[in-house]
A = this chain, B = another copy of it.
Amino acid sequence: MKGNIVVGQSGGPTAVINSSVAGVYSAAKKLGVKKVYGMIHGIEGFLEDKLCDLDEYIRGETDVELLKRTPSAFLGSCRFKMPKIEGNEEVYEKVFEIMEKHDIECLFYCGGNDSMDTVKMLSDYAAAHNKPQRFMGVPKTIDNDLPVTDHCPGYGSAAKYIATSIKEIIRDNESFGANRPTVCIVEIMGRNAGWLTAAAALAKGEDCHGVDAIYLPEKVFDIDAFIEKVRYLGSTKHSVVLAVSEGVKIADGRYVCELANENVLVDAFGHKQMSGTAAYLADKVAAETGLKARAVEFSTLQRAATHLASLTDINEAFQVGYDAVRAADAGKTGMMITLDRHGDDPYQCGTSAYDIHAIANVERTVPEEWITEDGCGLNENFERYARPLIMGELSPVMVNGLPGHLVRK
């Protein structure tokens, strides 16, 4: 590659999205790329020419290691939807103008479904207007809902955090209740895809009986059946722990969280800001069954807990960033790097570059055949799929008793 490159981060942060930036940076340095720019707050900042030179912040391998251990988007993120090309050519021309100004040959964008749409639009525009610049997608989403790729960087660490915390919550919940059953309802992220909520199943093991039921957004949520199940569980055991997706919907299509709060906020992509599902259900359980009920919402913790990131996930996040640069160096554009699983035991995974058109705006949910017949659990197919993704740890660099982070000053 003769020119410079730029890397940006977009959408909800993950525990390992910075590992992908580290991968892009490291590959570019290896290839002798002169300048690796970072977009400040994604394409939104890029359109305002807000860039930084990554060499300002990364001054050696220790900083690369610290970047890998830094949660959330080091460069800042955004939720910016590219307008349709027709009638908005000036927005697109602006992108190319800024790329030319800084001699940027290739743009790398780390994100999920919405961000891959940005890569698609920009590469389509380049193709249609014979522009030489190249655009590569680097997958990232705790939601794990990108198609084609076996899984998405960010998911494994969120799953590890969820399973670990669920185990700790089960321990906590079962410590009481000798004479009065205690119900704990845990709310987990995932608007339409239940991958994160499914990760609650991983808590189960030799030292943990696991959660009592898992409610995915892939299944219609029946509140009466839920209450009856909890009532039954409360009559047979002293500790009941349930995992519920923030995205569960009742039969008429309304989210459960909307039943609690009609004024749900909506973001730039039309996505509703979810919250309060577990609190609503815990109140209902207490009122209708008399059982002691508590709600726990993992909230942003599940996507920011780099202190407990999966080493497998960190390494793969790094790899997709690294391989995106190699693919671009080989002339590719309009593609996303996918993770391709070659085996479960031992787990083996490689990468390839795949046409962005097959990926952008497509959402992959948990396969029907991985969900147990009663609709409230996951079977061994999920375990086989997800367990390898949470394996391994990378010790945080502890400073004054807390994990240290790399920051832009």
- A binding-site residues for B, Cβ under 8 Å: 9, 13, 40-41, 44-45, 70-73, 76-79, 160, 163-165, 167-169, 171-176, 178-179, 184, 202-203, 205-208, 261, 265, 273, 275-276, 279, 283, 286, 292, 294-297, 299-301, 303-308, 310, 387, 390-393, 398-407
Q: Is the CB of B207 within 8 A of A76?
A: no
- Number of copies of chain A assembled together: 2
Which residues of the other chain, B, contact A163 by a CB distance below 8 angstroms? 401-402
Residue with the highest number of chain B CB atoms closer than 10 Å, among A72, A172, A179, A202: A172
CA distance in complex: A44, B176 (Å): 11
Contacting residues, chain B, for A173 (C-beta < 8 A)? 300
Assuming the contacts A71-B172, A301-B296, asked whether A405 and B167 have C-beta atoms less than 8 A apart, the reply is yes
**Contact yes or no, B406 A207, CB < 8 A:** yes
- Contact check, B308 vs A307: say whether CB atoms are below 8 A apart: yes
Complex interface: chain B residues within 8 A of A407 (CB): 207-208
A178 touches B41 (CB 8 A): yes
Interface centre among A178, A275, A295, A301 (most CB of B within 10 A): A178
Cα A173 to Cα B303 with chains together (Å): 11
Known interface pairs A164-B307, A165-B305, A301-B296; A401-B172 also in contact (CB < 8 Å): no
Residues from chain B with a CB closer than 8 A to the CB of A77 are 175-176
Query: How far in angstroms is the closest Cβ of chain B from A76?
Result: 6
> Which one of B40, B174, B398 lies within 8 Å of A72 (CB-CB)?
B174
**A171 and B304 in contact, given A176-B77, A401-B160 (Cβ under 8 angstroms):** yes
Given contacts A72-B172, A175-B77, A176-B78, contact A401 B310 (CB under 8 A): yes
CA distance A276 to B282 in the complex (A): 12
- B400 and A76: CB pair below 8 A? no
Chain B residues lying within 8 Å of A303, measured Cβ to Cβ, are 172
Q: How far is the CB of A399 from chain B (nearest CB, A)?
A: 7
Of B79, B167, B205, B393, which contacts A176 at CB under 8 A?
Answer: B79
Chain A binding site: helix, strand, loop or mixed by DSSP? Answer: mixed
Contacts of A9 in B (CB 8 A): 175
Asked if A265 and B279 make an inter-chain contact with CB atoms under 8 angstroms apart, the answer reads no
Chain B residue nearest to A72 (CB atoms) is B171
Cβ contacts under 8 Å, A297 to chain B? 296-297, 299
Once A169-B300, A265-B292, A301-B165 are accepted as A-B contacts, the answer to whether A175 and B403 lie under 8 Å apart by CB is: no
A292 partner residues in chain B, CB cutoff 8 A: 265
Please give, as numbers and ranges, the residues of chain B lying within 8 Å of A40 by CB-CB distance.
178
Residue from B294, B299, B305 in contact with A300 in the complex, judged by beta carbons closer than 8 Å? B294
Q: Which of B13, B178, B206, B275 is in CB contact (< 8 Å) with A294?
A: B275
Please tell me which one of the listed residues B79, B174, B286, B406 contacts residue A265 in the complex, with CB atoms under 8 A apart: B286
Residues of B close to A304: CB separation below 8 A: 168-169, 171-172
A13 to B: closest C-beta gap in Å? 5
Residues of B within 8 A of A206 (CB): 399
- CB pair A164–B402 under 8 Å, yes or no, is yes
- List the B side residues contacting A392 at CB < 8 Å: 401
Verify A178–B44 contact, CB threshold 8 A. yes
A21 CB to nearest chain B CB (Å): 12
Chain B residues with CB under 8 A of A403: 164, 167
